[in-house]
Amino acid sequence: MDTKTQIKALTVMQPWANLIADGIKTEELRTYSTSFRGPLVICSSKKIDRDACRQLEVDHTDTTIRDLLGCTICVVEVVDCRESGGEPGVYEWVLENPRHLDPMDVRGKPGIFNIDAENVILLSEALEAELKA
């Protein structure tokens, strides 16, 4: 039997996925709580949140968004989950320590799902520094 190491993943629409990877977005709002704590791969969905792009003045046709749809974006640590003070039934997943990943095609799923950890590759520190510059 072939048992592969799995890592938890979550699908997030663009531009939010990139903002998480860049450490700008440190909370992910969901309509459900999670008891999960630990490493979580953020995958971008194949859809773009155009309303968010307009609100954030982000060009949804930009290649940094268009080229990163339906793939791994980064890995973060889920350190907490709490009820949102602003809306009942909304939970804030607290995310820390984002690290960019080499993009790998992923078929997203609702909620937290598993992907093969051996396919998740951290970008080199030099490349990551270049991305942040």
Per-residue pLDDT reduced to its tens digit, 29-58:
999 999 999 999 999 999 888 888 888 888
Distance, C-alpha 118 to centroid of its chain:
18
| pLDDT at residue 1 is higher than 50 | no
Per the CB < 8 A criterion, the answer to whether 69 and 53 are in contact is: no
pLDDT tens per residue, range 65-110: 777 899 999 999 999 999 988 788 999 999 999 999 888 888 888 8
Tokens 């940094």: give the residue.
Answer: 64
Pull the structure tokens for residue 24.
Answer: 């700008």
- What number of CA atoms fall less than 13 Å from residue 56's CA on the CB side? 16
Residue 83 within a domain? yes
For the domain that residue 19 is a member of, what is the CATH number?
Answer: 2.30.130.30
| pTM for the predicted model, two decimal places | 0.84
Euclidean distance between CA atoms 25 and 95, whole angstroms:
8
Using alpha carbons, select from 84, 103, 118, 119 the residue that is nearest to residue 17: 103
- What number of CA atoms fall less than 13 Å from residue 106's CA on the CB side? 31
Q: Which domain holds residue 49?
A: 6-132
Q: Which amino acid is at 7?
A: I
Q: Which stretch of DSSP H or E encloses residue 17?
A: helix 16-21
Residue 21 within a domain? yes
**CA-CA-CA-CA torsion sign (21, 23, 28, 34):** positive
Domain count, the chain: 1
Residue 1 within a domain? no
Q: How confident is the model at residue 126 (pLDDT cuts 50, 70, 90)?
A: very low
